């Protein structure tokens, strides 16, 4: 993974000779990855700088009032960064941005600030005030201002469905993490700082790494999952409980607690990249911690069985 230049939450950048793709990219999926792949091909052919401009839409209220994001800004940057563009830009999506006409965005951002020579977009993508900027608009603008427009078809799932925003949300709601992986091209990911919990897991020999769930993050259904943790430059298998703690304190707060296998490092205050790989069971209430331990041991066996079928030897550890 190369070093990617990252402009975060700013409109103050100046580039030239670029091959660009842009959008909200909420839930960075296989369709978006196809766009990046085509963009990098076009950039290499023209010896241009490849640029992904992502609108910072967290929270989602300006686009989808009341809806939660699949990827936080940090998670989106992580997923885009793994695709190795030359430059990533997290562009502030404000009321002023939302009110920009397609022509204004084209002139001020794509041409003046980015010096776009090639623009790669999804064939059906629209942008600008009232979604007036479509493929026909861009092709006409390209002829007028001298840049190339490359339109990429939408990508279908293995079941033949077009990969859409709604399909991703519906799949998350179903709890089918393996199908979600097939749509995204990666596992559902949560990135956060490891904090202190109540340390009840430590009392039964199963200390947990505790992430705080983001306020704007769309969570998977509550339950127990097989997970992978990238932390301290290592990759570790684990069991993660996402939800409330009915056997402990009956609080309404959602927690993300991971028992990382074969791991004994102090990671308080460290960033954990958590991949949610498979649903194991729903949330249950137990009479005491000993019953919890017995059930967790069964869960761990199921998780080991799952990971025996997954080849992790080629997984790069991202920092």
The encoded tokens of residue 276 equal 């949610």
pTM of the predicted model as reported, rounded to 2 decimal places: 0.90
pLDDT value, residue 247 = 47
Q: What is the C-alpha separation between 141 and 116, in angstroms, rounded?
A: 12
pLDDT value, residue 251 = 52
In the chain (319 residues long), the average pLDDT of successive 10-residue segments reads 83 95 94 97 98 91 86 94 96 94 98 98 95 97 98 93 94 96 96 76 69 86 96 93 64 83 91 96 84 90 95 74
The encoded tokens of residue 40 equal 């990098």
Give the bridge partners for 225, in sequence order: 240, 279
Q: What is the C-alpha separation between 282 and 242, in angstroms, rounded?
A: 9
The Cα-based distances of 47 to 16, 17, 86 in angstroms read: 12, 8, 12
Q: What is the C-alpha separation between 95 and 217, in angstroms, rounded?
A: 21
| Residue ranges of domains in the chain, CATH in brackets | 5-152 (3.40.50.620), 187-307 (2.40.30.30)
pLDDT value, residue 57 = 87
């Amino acid at each position: 993974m190369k070093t990617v230049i990252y402009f975060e939450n700013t409109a103050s950048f100046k580039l030239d000779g670029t091959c660009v793709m842009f959008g909200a990219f909420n839930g960075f999926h296989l369709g978006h990855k196809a766009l990046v792949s085509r963009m990098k091909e076009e950039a290499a052919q023209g010896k241009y700088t490849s640029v992904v401009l992502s609108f910072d839409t967290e929270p989602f209220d300006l686009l989808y009032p009341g809806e939660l994001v699949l990827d936080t800004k940090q998670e989106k940057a992580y997923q885009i960064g793994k695709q190795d563009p030359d430059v990533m830009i997290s562009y502030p999506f404000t009321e002023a941005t939302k009110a920009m006409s397609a022509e204004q965005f084209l002139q001020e951002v794509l041409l003046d600030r980015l010096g776009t020579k090639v623009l790669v977009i999804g064939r059906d993508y629209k942008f600008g005030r009232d979604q007036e900027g479509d493929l026909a608009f861009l092709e006409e603008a390209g002829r007028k201002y001298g840049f190339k427009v490359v339109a990429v078809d939408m990508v279908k799932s293995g079941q033949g469905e077009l990969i859409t925003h709604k399909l991703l949300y519906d799949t998350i709601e179903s709890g089918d993490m393996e199908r979600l992986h097939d749509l995204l091209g990666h596992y559902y990911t949560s990135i956060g700082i490891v904090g202190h919990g109540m340390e009840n897991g430590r009392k039964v020999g199963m200390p947990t790494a505790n992430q705080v769930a983001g306020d704007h993050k769309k969570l998977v259904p509550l339950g127990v999952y097989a997970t992978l943790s990238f932390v301290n430059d290592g990759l570790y298998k684990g069991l993660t409980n996402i939800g409330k703690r009915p056997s402990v304190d009956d609080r309404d707060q959602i927690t993300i607690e991971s028992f990382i296998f074969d791991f004994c490092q102090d990671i308080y205050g460290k960033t954990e990249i958590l991949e949610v790989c498979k649903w194991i069971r729903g949330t249950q209430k137990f009479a005491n911690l000993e019953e919890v331990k017995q059930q967790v041991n069964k869960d761990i066996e199921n998780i080991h069985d799952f990971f025996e079928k997954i080849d992790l030897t080629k997984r790069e550890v991202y920092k």
